[in-house]
Amino acid sequence: MARTRALMIQIATGDPRPIGRQIVEAVRMKIATGELEPGDQLPSVRGLAQQLTVNPNTVAKAYAELTAEGWLESRQGLGLYVAPPRQRLSDAERARRLDEAVDRFVHEVVPLDYPPATIQARLLRALGALVPRKRA
């Protein structure tokens, strides 16, 4: 039986992003970096609301948005869990976006006049930093 994982996030008042948005983005980032893994249970609405001192309705709305986007899934009577990863874009759309991004990158980098090997090495290092962190 999975136990609730601590959700180590912070919110800030006075930010242009509403608190609900801050929660959505923070949870997505935790999932994307692997700090939260599929099957992990999230804190209850009330629990997270108290942790952050915010209105429980704000947390409920954020969780609903994350569930609708497929990041979280609810298990009847048990609570919310990180959903198993699934592809969120069609293959064609993914390929198109990658082409676009590579194109933009090449255009920016060419005028800098580095040898291709240097650029490749830097790129690999940057991508390496994105690999999901192992849990302690």
Q: Where does this chain touch another protein (CB under 8 A) — which range of 13-21, 81-89, 93-101, 121-129?
A: 13-21
Tell me if 27 contacts another protein by CB under 8 A.
no
Cα–Cα distance, 83 to 27 (Å, whole number) = 12
Kindly report the number of other CB atoms within 10 A of residue 65's CB atom.
17
Q: Closer to another protein at the Cβ: 66 or 82?
A: 66
Asked whether position 45 contacts another protein by CB under 8 A, the answer is no
34 sits near another protein (criterion: CB under 8 A) = no
Closer Cβ to another protein, 37 or 65, answer by number:
65
| The only residue of 10, 13, 87, 90 in contact with another protein, by rule CB under 8 A | 13
Quick one: which of 3, 10, 14, 115 contacts another protein (CB under 8 A)? 14
List residues near another protein by CB under 8 A: 13-21, 46, 49-50, 53-57
